[in-house]
């Protein structure tokens, strides 16, 4: 079994159609199918932002039901589940019929040769969340408390490991952000803020070096472990997507109008040659 991984779709159904076609899948009466023994793997964030989240949900769910796709939760799906659990309005009423499916999706995938999680394979958080599902009431109750260990773990794996920035720093859109997301797979000791953020941010303040406690939450991912695929980081086109055994498939589909994918080839180290886009 081989996998074709798809980055954050965010409701861009037209780009999804184009990308899966490039990957050799055809549209059937129920979702997509490959004539060889291949499956699609979605890294999460199917919904919100783009024009047609409903078609994305419908088609991905059908593909999943036919056994031709795996899907892991993104922060947008999980946030929607949390709102629904608290009886608060969800981003679109279209999502409601899909909630029973979404809440049974895994928080991460540990497959034979690869691992998939929306933002970070943070080892202790993955340990804590192993065997846990969003359909469990006690888990969702814990996650609704902002100081709970389950909430912290979910935030880390679905939103990344973050640090407070030392001064004014802007993201790729020129927006000043108080926090930055860390290169969670690396050992960050002895590096300045400008070297440890993913995606990079901009500002003179980032020449500063973080205090130990600011990067304590990072648990470097061993280079000998299985390759991990993530989405989430809205990378500018020139930022490398393959970093050792960690590959990010999120190139910010809404602003760059490009959906990224990765086609798995047997026994190969992760390589940028295997990346493609819509
Ligand atoms: Mn995300």
Per-residue pLDDT reduced to its tens digit, 62-91 = 999 999 999 999 999 999 999 999 999 999
User: If you measure from the C-alpha of residue 259 to the centroid of ligand 1, how many angstroms do you get, rounded to a whole number?
Assistant: 14
User: If you measure from the C-alpha of residue 220 to the centroid of ligand 1, how many angstroms do you get, rounded to a whole number?
Assistant: 21
User: Which H/E stretch holds residue 78?
Assistant: helix 75-85
User: If you measure from the C-alpha of residue 161 to the centroid of ligand 1, how many angstroms do you get, rounded to a whole number?
Assistant: 13
User: If you measure from the C-alpha of residue 45 to the centroid of ligand 1, how many angstroms do you get, rounded to a whole number?
Assistant: 6
User: If you measure from the C-alpha of residue 46 to the centroid of ligand 1, how many angstroms do you get, rounded to a whole number?
Assistant: 9
Task: Tell me the three state secondary structure of residue 247.
Answer: strand
- CA-nearest of 131, 61, 116, 152 to 231 is 116
User: If you measure from the C-alpha of residue 53 to the centroid of ligand 1, how many angstroms do you get, rounded to a whole number?
Assistant: 15
In b/e form, how buried is each residue of 81-99, taking b as 16+ CB within 10 angstroms? Answer: bbebbeeeebeeeebeebb
262 CA to centre of own chain: 14
15 and 254 Cβ atoms separated by less than 8 Å: no
CA distance 37 to 31: 16
User: Residue 268: its pLDDT value, please?
Assistant: 76
Would you place residue 265 in the very low, low, confident or very high pLDDT band (cuts 50, 70, 90)? confident
User: If you measure from the C-alpha of residue 232 to the centroid of ligand 1, how many angstroms do you get, rounded to a whole number?
Assistant: 4
Per-residue pLDDT tens over the stretch 171-182 = 999 999 999 999
Per-domain residue ranges of the chain: 3-159+221-277, 162-216
Q: What is the rounded average pLDDT for all residues in the chain? A: 96
Per-residue pLDDT tens over the stretch 167-221 = 999 999 999 999 999 999 999 999 999 999 999 999 999 999 999 889 999 999 9
User: If you measure from the C-alpha of residue 8 to the centroid of ligand 1, how many angstroms do you get, rounded to a whole number?
Assistant: 7
User: If you measure from the C-alpha of residue 167 to the centroid of ligand 1, how many angstroms do you get, rounded to a whole number?
Assistant: 25
Give the fold, CATH level 3, of 3-159+221-277. Answer: Purple Acid Phosphatase; chain A, domain 2 (3.60.21)
User: Residue 1: its pLDDT value, please?
Assistant: 86
Task: Tell me the three state secondary structure of residue 89.
Answer: coil
User: Residue 277: its pLDDT value, please?
Assistant: 97
User: If you measure from the C-alpha of residue 106 to the centroid of ligand 1, how many angstroms do you get, rounded to a whole number?
Assistant: 15
Report the pLDDT averaged over residues 228-232.
Answer: 98
Say if residue 234's pLDDT is above 80: yes
Backbone φ and ψ of 248, nearest 5° = -105, 125
Contacts with 154 (C-beta within 8 Å, 6 or more apart), sequence order: 78, 107, 125, 129, 143
CA distance 116 to 100: 22
Task: Tell me the three state secondary structure of residue 201.
Answer: coil
Its pTM stands at: 0.97
User: If you measure from the C-alpha of residue 150 to the centroid of ligand 1, how many angstroms do you get, rounded to a whole number?
Assistant: 18
Backbone φ and ψ of 194, nearest 5° = -65, -20
User: Residue 191: its pLDDT value, please?
Assistant: 97
User: If you measure from the C-alpha of residue 37 to the centroid of ligand 1, how many angstroms do you get, rounded to a whole number?
Assistant: 29
């Amino acid at each position: 079994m081989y996998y074709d991984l798809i980055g954050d779709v965010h409701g861009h159904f037209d780009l999804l159609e184009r990308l899966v076609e490039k990957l050799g899948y055809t549209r059937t009466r129920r979702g997509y199918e490959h004539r060889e023994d291949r499956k699609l793997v979605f890294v999460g964030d199917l919904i919100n932002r783009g024009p047609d989240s409903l078609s994305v949900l419908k088609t991905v769910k059908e593909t999943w039901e036919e056994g031709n796709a795996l899907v892991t939760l993104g922060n947008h799906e999980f946030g929607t589940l949390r709102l629904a659990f608290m009886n608060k309005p969800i981003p679109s009423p279209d999502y409601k019929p899909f909630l029973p499916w979404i809440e049974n999706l895994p928080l991460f995938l540990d497959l034979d040769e690869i691992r998939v999680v929306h933002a970070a394979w943070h080892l202790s958080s993955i340990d804590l969340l192993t065997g846990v599902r969003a359909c469990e009431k006690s888990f969702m109750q814990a996650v609704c408390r902002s100081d709970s260990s389950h909430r912290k773990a979910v935030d880390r794996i679905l939103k990344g490991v973050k640090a407070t920035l030392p001064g004014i720093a802007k993201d790729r859109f020129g927006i000043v952000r108080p926090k930055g997301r860390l290169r969670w797979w690396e050992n960050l000791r002895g590096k300045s803020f400008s070297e440890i953020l993913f995606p990079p941010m901009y500002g003179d303040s980032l020449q500063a070096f973080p205090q130990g406690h600011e990067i304590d939450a990072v648990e470097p991912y061993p280079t000998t472990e299985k390759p991990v695929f993530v989405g989430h980081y809205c990378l500018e086109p020139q930022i490398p997507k393959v970093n050792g055994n960690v590959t990010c498939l999120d190139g910010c589909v809404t602003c760059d109008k490009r959906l990224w994918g990765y086609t798995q080839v047997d026994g190969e180290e992760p390589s940028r040659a295997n990346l493609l886009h819509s």
